[in-house]
């Protein structure tokens, strides 16, 4: 079946947040801080208020009423303190967006600037151990005697890897329209990865009961994590609408998105691996340094994949964080696994070379019986199957491991591989199912952020109801529907599908309608380590004269439980791998250390992979049965595709050139260095 809303999208009928009409709508523009740290001395709005079309100016000069419970990134205009450059410090409401932007040029804000500290460095005196890492994993773990394991190793690796700041760049910017009704209830048309959570966060920020807030979000043009939490544009829209007494729209510019919608923290990761002469790990140590803002502690779980991947009798993982005068980092496709596996899988490649072993074979030799850190049995684990199948399809067996030997014209050619992993979890959700119009309607406040969730849930419901998909209508993207979890953590389909199946089963029993809540079911998800696995293979061409790197071939083989829709799954996996290719070769947000904010804040300067960068790319999956997950037997697929890609490319660059690049991205400058 085709994507259900596909025709609406390609004909422009699908309506996104900013496109909802409203009578008397006004527009708000976010004004951003020009200093990275300090206090707002004064806001002079008098001249601006006299400009044509200007309706209101919001700022700390007259703080609008907000709840004390508002998250610091959402507590707009409540304080004179500035926590980072680009923070929203005022909002201008006007009849048109043009009038609001014209007024922004005239708004005079003076600051008492203070020296800022925006550079992550491994010797920063402010480094500390957070209480937990995102979302609630232990900060540090230790098992066995790592010093003894490293000392006893026949072969060892001690290397430091770095990943830069990276930004999500969904096609649709963060946008909202807020409408207050006469009774003081609020409707927000928002671009969000979860209408229920967005409603709750907006209500908490405004001090409203959740039932007084409704979030409408049927179509979302991508999020990757950046729309997983409420962003300040939605609060600005609500405050501006309240101040103007009219519906108000807010859309962030692309540049503003870089400042206020989260980013992937830069990481500095030290990997120490020890192995016996056969390549079996004797110790694995993964130490991570990363950053957060002064406002909110967000500690990316970068070392967590090292707790899952390989059988090391001695295993230590640590995370250290420093709070800088920067925006708060947040979720970006596969937080934790994505940067962590770049380091671990690069180090495993280095270990394979040091041990004289094939990198596929090294990983097979270190396959654990149970999850290394927890000791839990795996609900299913088919990493070896992915490695073997990928190697067979890629033609890995004929590979000469010696670097720098293959040349075609001006290009040096190399191949590399890396493993992938991502947790397979679910969260509580509710759903209803009912007979309607000779068919069925399923309701759940799920989010389709471009993944095809609407289509996948239709298929899941049709199967549960033993009917055809065209007789099922799924309603989602509205907080008035039964409460559901986020499209995030690769948990959407597993969480929502569990509720949908349960609601459909209840409806079949009842004959007319059914309702489900999976809270208790999810509480029972213990006793097993649940993860998806995969193996990625890359062929890389490097021009040693110019430093150009091209990737003519990428193959991913994944074990992700049961695949619900092959077209959508392939799209998710290839999309993740493409984003991983961008991470390997180009994605990097530069910090302006002098001014204190991000420097390259648009798509001409922050490069993501273009079509021309992606040549032969393929993703496939092996059969995997897992009865310990959810009624569908499915593992999430939204994130695992990006995990390992960058390491596979970096490992292939080494194979092509003999150069090991340990800090991403792998640019011509670094190849030529």
Partner 1 sequence: MKPFEYTRARDAGDAVARFRAGAMYLGGGTNLVDLMRLGVAEPDHLVDVSRVGGDRIEPGGDGLLIGAGVRNSDLAAHPVVRERYPMLARAVLAGASGQVRNMATIGGNLLQRTRCPYFQDVSKPCNKRQPGSGCPAVAGDHRNLAILGHSAGLEAAAQCVATHPSDMAVALAALDAQVHVTGPDGSRVVPMPGLHRLPGDEPDRDTVLRPGDLITAVELPPPPPGRSTYRKVRERASFAFALVSLAAVLDVGRDGTVRGCRLALGGVAHTPWRAARAERALTGAPATAEEFTRAAGAELAEAQPLPRNGYKVTLARNLIVATLQELLP
Contact with partner 1 (CB under 8 A) among 9, 15, 39, 101: 101
- To partner 1, the closest distance from the beta carbon of 253 in angstroms equals 8
Among 297, 505, 548, 663, indicate the residue that binds partner 1 (CB under 8 A): 548
Encoded tokens for 584: 């390997």
Judged by beta carbon, residue 456 or residue 585, the one nearer partner 1 is 585
Q: Which span sits near partner 1 by CB under 8 A: 3-11, 97-105, 478-486, 625-633?
A: 97-105
Cα–Cα dist 660/658, whole Å: 7
Site size with partner 1, rule: CB under 8 A: 36
Residue of 594, 612, 600, 613 lying closest to 254 (CA atoms): 600
Q: Nearest distance from residue 668's CB to partner 1, in Å? A: 6
Strand partners, 187: 179, 214
CA atoms of 471 and 465, how far apart (whole Å): 10
Active site residue 361: no
Comparison of 385 and 552: residue with beta carbon closer to partner 1: 552
**Which of 386-394, 490-498, 569-577, 600-608 is the region at the interface with partner 1 (rule: CB under 8 A)?**
600-608
Rounded least distance, CB 258 to partner 1, Å: 12
Cβ count within 10 A of residue 527: 10
Stretch that binds partner 1, among 110-118, 459-467, 476-484, 543-551 (CB under 8 A): 543-551
Give me the phi and psi of 539, to 5 degrees please.
-110, 130
Rank residues 396 and 541 by Cβ distance to partner 1 and give the closer one: 541
User: In angstroms, rounded to a whole number, what is the distance separating the alpha carbons of residues 21 and 184?
Assistant: 20
* Residue number, 33 or 265, with CB nearest to partner 1: 33
Judged by CB under 8 A, the residue of 131, 369, 594, 616 near partner 1 is: 594
Q: How far is the CB of 111 from partner 1 (least distance, A)?
A: 12
Q: CA dihedral defined by 134, 632, 418, 609, rounded to 10 degrees?
A: -80
Q: Is 65 near partner 1 (CB under 8 A)?
A: no
Cβ-count burial 564-575 (b if 16+ within 10 Å, e if not): bbeebbbbbbbb
Please choose, from the candidates 521, 480, 513, the residue with its C-alpha nearest in 3D space to the C-alpha of residue 497: 521
| Strand ranges for 185-337 from DSSP E | 186-190, 213-216, 248-251, 267-275, 281-293, 315-324
Select from 76, 549, 560, 640 the one that contacts partner 1 (CB under 8 A). 549
Q: How far is CA 594 from CA 111, 161, 174, 239, 588, in A?
A: 17, 25, 28, 33, 18
How would you classify residue 262: left for phi > 0, otherwise alpha for psi between -120 and 50, otherwise beta?
A: left
Least distance in Å: CB of 94 to partner 1?
12
8 A C-beta contact, residue 365 and residue 352: no
Closest distance to partner 1 from the beta carbon of 670 (Å)? 8
Note whether 546 binds partner 1 by CB under 8 A.
yes
Kindly tell me which residue out of 547, 570, 628, 663 binds partner 1, with binding defined by CB under 8 A: 547
Write the Ramachandran bin of 222: left for phi over 0, alpha for psi from -120 to 50, otherwise beta.
Answer: left
Instruction: Quote the crossing angle between the two packed helices 232-244 and 195-206, to the nearest 10°.
Output: 50
Q: Under a CB-based contact definition with an 8 Å cutoff, are residues 63 and 46 in contact?
A: no
Question: For the chain, first and last CA: distance in Å?
Answer: 51
Our finding on whether 613 is near partner 1 (CB under 8 A) is: yes
Residues 15-34 that bind partner 1 (CB under 8 A): 34
Q: Which of 389, 587, 624, 639 is catalytic?
A: 639
Handedness of CA 622, 623, 628, 634 (dihedral sign): positive
Tell me the CB-side half-sphere exposure of residue 665, using CA atoms within 13 A. Answer: 24
* 430-436 sheet: strands from edge to edge: 472-475, 439-443, 430-436, 513-517
The residue (of 104 and 337) whose beta carbon lies closer to partner 1 is 104
Between residues 294 and 600, which has the closer beta carbon with respect to partner 1?
600
* Comparison of 519 and 615: residue with beta carbon closer to partner 1: 615
Of the candidates 98, 158, 470, 616, which one interacts with partner 1 according to CB under 8 A? Answer: 98
- Rounding to the nearest 10 degrees, give the CA dihedral for residues 404, 406, 412, 416: -70
For the record, the structure tokens of 266 come out as 């830069």
Per CB under 8 A, which region of 200-208, 471-479, 546-554, 625-633 contacts partner 1? 546-554
What is the contact mask toward partner 1 in residues 403 to 442, using x (rule: CB under 8 A)?
-------x--------------------------------
Comparison of 209 and 611: residue with beta carbon closer to partner 1: 611
Judged by CB under 8 A, the chain residues 295 through 354 that form the site for partner 1 are: none
The span of 201-209, 370-378, 438-446, 608-616 binding partner 1 (CB under 8 A) equals: 608-616
Q: How far is CA 440 from CA 31, 219, 501, in A?
A: 47, 21, 13
Of the candidates 103, 18, 107, 90, the residue with the CA atom closest to the CA atom of residue 53:
103
The answer to whether 667 contacts partner 1 (rule: CB under 8 A) is yes
Tell me the closest approach of the beta carbon of residue 250 to partner 1, in angstroms: 17
Pick one of 393, 527, 545, 567: the residue that binds partner 1 (CB under 8 A).
Answer: 545
> Cβ 575 to partner 1, closest distance in Å?
17
Residues 438-497 that bind partner 1 (CB under 8 A): none
How many Cβ atoms are within 10 Å of 659's Cβ, its own excluded? 17
CA 240/CA 260 separation, integer angstroms? 18
Out of 181, 610, 616, 627, point to the residue binding partner 1 (CB under 8 A): 610
The one among 12, 23, 604, 625 contacting partner 1 by CB under 8 A: 604
Query: Is residue 95 close enough to count as binding partner 1 by CB under 8 A?
Result: no
| Residues 102-161 contacting partner 1, CB under 8 A | 102, 105
Which range touches partner 1 (CB under 8 A), out of 17-25, 99-107, 309-317, 629-637?
99-107
Minimum gap (Å) between residue 28 Cβ and partner 1: 15
Looking at beta carbons only, is 98 or 211 nearer to partner 1? 98
- Name the residue nearer to partner 1 (CB basis): 42 or 667: 667
> Interface residues with partner 1 (CB under 8 A)?
34, 98, 101-102, 105, 410, 545-550, 585-586, 590, 592-595, 599-601, 604-605, 607, 609-613, 665, 667-669, 672-673
List, by residue number, the catalytic residues: 639
């Amino acid at each position: 079946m085709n994507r259900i809303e596909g025709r609406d999208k390609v004909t422009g009928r699908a309506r996104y947040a900013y496109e909802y009409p409203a009578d008397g709508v006004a527009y708000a523009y976010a004004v951003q801080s020009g200093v990275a740290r300090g206090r707002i001395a004064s806001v002079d709005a008098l001249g601006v208020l006299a400009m044509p079309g200007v309706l209101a100016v919001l700022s700390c000069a007259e703080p609008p009423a907000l709840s004390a419970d508002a998250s610091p990134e959402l507590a707009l205009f409540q304080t004179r303190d500035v926590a980072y450059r680009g923070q929203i410090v005022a909002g201008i409401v006007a009849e048109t967006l043009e009038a609001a932007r014209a007024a922004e040029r005239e708004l005079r804000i003076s600051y008492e600037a203070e020296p800022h500290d925006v550079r992550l460095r491994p010797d920063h005196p402010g480094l500390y151990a957070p209480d937990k890492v995102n979302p609630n994993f232990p900060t540090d773990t230790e098992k066995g005697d790592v010093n003894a394991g490293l000392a006893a190793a026949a072969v060892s690796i001690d290397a430091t890897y770095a990943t830069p700041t990276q930004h999500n760049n969904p096609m649709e910017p963060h946008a909202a329209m807020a409408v207050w009704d006469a009774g003081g209830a609020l409707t927000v048309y928002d671009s969000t990865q979860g209408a229920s959570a967005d409603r709750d966060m907006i209500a908490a920020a405004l001090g409203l009961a959740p039932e007084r807030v409704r979030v409408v979000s049927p179509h979302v043009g991508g999020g990757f994590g950046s729309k997983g939490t409420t962003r300040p544009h939605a609060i600005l829209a609500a405050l501006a609408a309240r101040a103007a007494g009219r519906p108000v729209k807010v859309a962030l510019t692309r540049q503003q998105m870089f400042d206020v919608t989260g980013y992937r923290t830069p990481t500095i990761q030290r990997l120490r691996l020890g192995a016996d002469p056969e390549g079996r790990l004797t110790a694995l140590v993964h130490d991570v340094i990363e950053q957060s803002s002064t406002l909110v502690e967000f500690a990316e779980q970068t070392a967590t994949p090292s707790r899952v991947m390989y059988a090391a009798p001695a295993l230590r993982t640590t995370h250290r964080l420093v709070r800088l005068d920067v925006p708060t980092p947040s979720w970006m496709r596969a937080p934790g696994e994505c940067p962590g596996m770049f380091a671990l899988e690069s180090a495993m490649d280095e270990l394979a070379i040091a041990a004289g072993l094939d990198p596929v074979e090294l990983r097979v030799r270190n396959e654990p019986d149970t999850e290394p850190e927890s000791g839990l049995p795996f609900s299913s684990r088919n990493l070896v199957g992915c490695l073997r199948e990928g190697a067979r399809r890629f033609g890995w067996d004929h590979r000469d491991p010696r670097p720098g030997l293959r040349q075609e014209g001006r290009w040096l050619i190399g191949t590399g591989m890396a493993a992938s992993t991502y947790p397979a979890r679910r969260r509580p959700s509710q759903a209803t199912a009912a007979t309607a119009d000779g068919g069925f309607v399923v309701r759940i406040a799920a989010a389709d952020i471009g993944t095809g969730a609407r289509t996948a849930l239709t298929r899941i419901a049709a199967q549960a109801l033993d009917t055809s998909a065209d007789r099922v209508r799924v309603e989602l993207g509205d907080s008035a529907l039964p409460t559901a979890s986020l499209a995030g953590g690769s948990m959407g389909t597993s969480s929502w599908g569990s509720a949908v199946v349960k609601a459909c089963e209840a409806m079949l029993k009842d004959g007319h309608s059914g309702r489900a809540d999976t809270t208790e079911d999810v509480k029972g998800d213990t006793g097993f380590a649940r993860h998806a696995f995969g193996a990625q293979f890359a062929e890389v061409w490097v021009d040693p004269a110019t430093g150009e790197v091209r990737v003519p071939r990428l193959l991913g083989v994944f074990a992700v439980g049961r695949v619900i829709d092959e077209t959508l799954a392939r799209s998710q996996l290839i999309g993740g791998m493409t984003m991983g290719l961008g991470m390997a070769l180009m994605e990097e947000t530069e910090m302006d250390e002098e001014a204190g904010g991000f420097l390259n804040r648009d798509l001409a300067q922050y490069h993501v992979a273009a079509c021309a960068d992606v040549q032969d790319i393929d993703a496939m999956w092996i059969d995997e049965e897992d009865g310990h997950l959810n009624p569908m037997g499915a593992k999430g697929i939204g994130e695992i595709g990006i995990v390992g890609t960058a390491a596979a490319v970096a490992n292939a660059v080494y194979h092509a050139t003999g150069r090991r690049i340990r800090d991403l991205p792998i640019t011509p400058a670094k190849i030529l260095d």
